[in-house]
Structure 1
């Protein structure tokens, strides 16, 4: 739903925070497992005198990109969680300032 102004639904934010964090936790070991399998393959199973090392290096670069992307997922999880936490604090501080104005 579109709002003109600010609308924060903490439950929805927390749901996405948890989803992103959980997927991050699932993806990290999967990516590592794939990397390990490719390394094993080019050592035993797909061995070429000249190109096996190039295949390994190319996959290593790809793997680095994957890891950076997955780190981005965790980064968004933390960012959304920080937004929620800071918004809750701001709301609480604002209430306190209204109820107890300082002269």
Structure 2
């Protein structure tokens, strides 16, 4: 438990960052598709070996799969940031409502005691 912890939450920045990540994910996916097509063309027509071509294709397919997985993780982080933002906003609202409810109850009890 940290006794000197500070909390600073900028919901707009969280949402903007998540949005940027989503946009970049789309850009990356498009680029990966274009690169895959380009490399496949190269390996079919411009860089053909009797034995090594198949190995090059397999290696590039593996690389592409790894890049797609990494790109998908960007989307997962964006989603996580949005969920954190929503949960924190809900928690803040819940705390405020609980505090106000407790305050109203204390005021009512004080008024009753003074009556």
Distance 2:52 2:77 in 1: 38
Aligned structure 1 segments of 4 or more residues deviating by more than 2 angstroms: none
Contiguous gaps of at least 5 residues in structure 1: none
Are positions 1:60 and 2:61 aligned together? yes
**TM-score, length basis structure 2:** 0.80
Larger radius of gyration: 2
**TM-score, length basis structure 1:** 0.88
Q: How many residues align?
A: 100
Are positions 1:30 and 2:31 aligned together? yes
- Using the TM superposition, give the Cα deviation of residue 92 of structure 1 relative to its aligned residue in structure 2, in angstroms: 0.9
Distance 2:57 2:35 in 1: 12
Aligned match of 1:100: 101
- Using the TM superposition, give the Cα deviation of residue 5 of structure 1 relative to its aligned residue in structure 2, in angstroms: 2.2
| Secondary structure of 1:100 counterpart | helix
Aligned match of 2:109: none
Distance 1:12 1:36 in 2: 36
Q: CA RMSD in A?
A: 1.6
- Using the TM superposition, give the Cα deviation of residue 16 of structure 1 relative to its aligned residue in structure 2, in angstroms: 0.9
